[in-house]
Structure 1
């Protein structure tokens, strides 16, 4: 039974108990009472409140030295779901996951972000509803939706701000539009920020300081500092692509400046260089194919692109001292050739103390990093103390 007094411990302290159970380890009421420093009767009320909203359930009985065994309780990861949405320059990926991050269904579609927000977001809604239907779920099961977009985002509102490759998206109310299809909170962030969250959750959960560098149509970085995503004052921290590099010379970047890293080392820039050398390379995936075929010119151009990215990352390393640098995006699919170029410059340009334990690795999530990260963004919001308190208060109001 849920305590109907909104300010009672059954509501106000329950989210703290829930955070203990998020690690997946089943615990008895006595164990929870000892950890929280409250009476076992108080824990019983809080556990019941979480059971009533479907977030916690009893599991197999705990061992007992005599008498009736104590029940243990754990997070129910499959009762609710989240949607993770990765909107790229030319693709869309949508994943449905449970509250542990386990993927239930996913779908993808080739789609140009330049077609505009309504077209793209209507497709997101279409795919999301299709995934829910295939999984036997309803829109009411969705606790939150995470969205990554390929451009700067005003964090507080979720609105893209002057995104270079997203015509028609400036100031568009992405959360509001999607909430017209799903009655759930919508979290929107820059795609590289989202990828960094996903990569850390998937491959480096114990690492507190990490840089995720995406090298694809554009170049950017998501920065995890002291375990938290670093967005900066205006949400544009990590915009590596428009830092000038010596090798850039007078190459014109789409931002209007000359010599930007993106104009030198992005997927389209590398493809352009290979076309000038007589290779058939329309985009970064063609570059990857040429490298995999052992084309010497492609390998050399890709390695130089890695060196150029390494120039900028070496400066970041001196400023932030991460334990891990993860290389993602389509250019990372060239494997060790690109990453070898990055390592060559980073290790030669940075103080030994900063690199003696540094790892520079390829993304473990591959092209799914954005979708995985968007799901994690949604889960973090859905299971935050504030969200749990709102859910419990809503249940009290309905009782």
Structure 2
């Protein structure tokens, strides 16, 4: 989006809209901002002064003089606020601190059991975040928000997990309210695949306007970015690939002659069950990954077939959404290129040529870092939204 696009449609941009013009990291003079917004110089000056007083903008030296005193420049200050970014998995938790540009400043990862319930897990998250916030390098930065990704469906408008299959005790639990008992800031919660999509998009494909991130692990889900925006759907359930029914194929395992949910065919748990029938001692996705990395032929073929099954669903998504990039992640997606090969085999064969002629199907590059980055981005977009910036500045003046 161009600078002028940011202010079109608004006859009198507030300080929040002025700030949007600085988020690209370029320092600008007040004269630059007058030119971009069409506002009177006195109006721009007062709104810039409010941003400077809040710390969201800082002086950034002087521009070249065209005669007389050189004009002062201002720039966005990413250290005007800190964000706690959290990635919760089935058996691990990562807590990070980020600044308002989304840069990760500190991070800490520990084993945890999501099935221990929300109180125990969130108490650990809050305690670890408090430790990070006391670090000398960030102690003077005010906390402005918390972003949390969880491995299950979330009603994004309330931040409450909704009937999450691997999260007993979390159903409709008020995650934001519980965290706000310690941190009195906005708390945003989303499912882990959405925050992975945001993070991977920022890290690896920032110019892609249409992207699908697919996580294949204990479960299967997709994060969809269309037109540059994350798509959550009406209630937050967009991207639930795992419950899409897959037409029966004699190549799939198990060999029940009926349509089944994709998750029952191609998740790490399903692959482990298939391998047990072949005499392998596999109980979980981690066991499958270990066999793949050891070069086990049965595990490799089962994973490639899982990729074909995932490809059956993705082929329809490609025809409907026409993404330019599909990224495969999750523990199974990262364990070699066998899942990737199966997906490519089917998607390029079953999708229309126009949709696939420039389509890249790739493995994740961001790894675990993408998740906490995505959680941070989710919060920065909310905290720095023009209306929220204006509300913050208004509250500060009272």
The Cα offsets for residues 221-267 of structure 1, whole Å up to 9 and x where unpaired, read as 11111122222222211111112222467689xxxx97221122111
TM norm structure 1: 0.91
SS in structure 1 at match of 2:69: coil
2:253–2:265 contact (8 Å) kept in structure 1:
no
The Cα offsets for residues 348-394 of structure 1, whole Å up to 9 and x where unpaired, read as 11111110001111112112332221111011111111220111011
Q: Which residue of 1 aligns with 2:262?
A: 261
Q: Which residue of 1 aligns with 2:222?
A: 221
SS in structure 2 at match of 1:124: helix
1:144–1:381 contact (8 Å) kept in structure 2:
no
SS in structure 2 at match of 1:134: coil
2:358 is equivalent to residue 367 of structure 1: no
- Counterpart CA distance in 2 for 1:152 and 1:290 is 29
- Counterpart CA distance in 2 for 1:304 and 1:191 is 25
SS in structure 1 at match of 2:79: coil
* Stretch deviating more after TM superposition (332-341 or 302-311): 332-341
- Counterpart CA distance in 2 for 1:284 and 1:155 is 27
Q: Which residue of 2 aligns with 1:76?
A: 77
Q: Which residue of 1 aligns with 2:186?
A: 185
Q: Which residue of 2 aligns with 1:15?
A: 16
1:306–1:340 contact (8 Å) kept in structure 2:
yes
2:134 is equivalent to residue 133 of structure 1: yes
- Counterpart CA distance in 1 for 2:322 and 2:109 is 36
SS in structure 2 at match of 1:38: coil
- Counterpart CA distance in 1 for 2:64 and 2:380 is 32
- Counterpart CA distance in 2 for 1:135 and 1:198 is 26
2:59 is equivalent to residue 58 of structure 1: yes
2:333–2:340 contact (8 Å) kept in structure 1:
yes
Q: How does 1:153-302 map to 2 (within 5 A)?
A: 153-245=154-246, 246-247=248-249, 259-302=260-303
- Counterpart CA distance in 1 for 2:292 and 2:151 is 26
* Cα gap change, 1:28 to 1:20, in 2 (>3 Å): same
Deviation at 1:188, TM superposition (A): 0.9
SS in structure 1 at match of 2:102: coil
* Stretch deviating more after TM superposition (368-377 or 265-274): 265-274
Q: Which residue of 1 aligns with 2:3?
A: none
Q: Which residue of 2 aligns with 1:4?
A: none
Q: Which residue of 2 aligns with 1:120?
A: 121
Aligned residue-pair number = 384
- Counterpart CA distance in 2 for 1:367 and 1:264 is 25
Contiguous gaps of at least 5 residues in structure 2: 1-11
* Stretch deviating more after TM superposition (322-331 or 243-252): 243-252
Superposition RMSD on alpha carbons, in Å? 2.1
SS in structure 2 at match of 1:334: coil
TM norm structure 2: 0.91
4+ long deviations beyond 6 Å? 249-252
- Counterpart CA distance in 1 for 2:392 and 2:309 is 49
* Cα gap change, 1:184 to 1:140, in 2 (>3 Å): farther
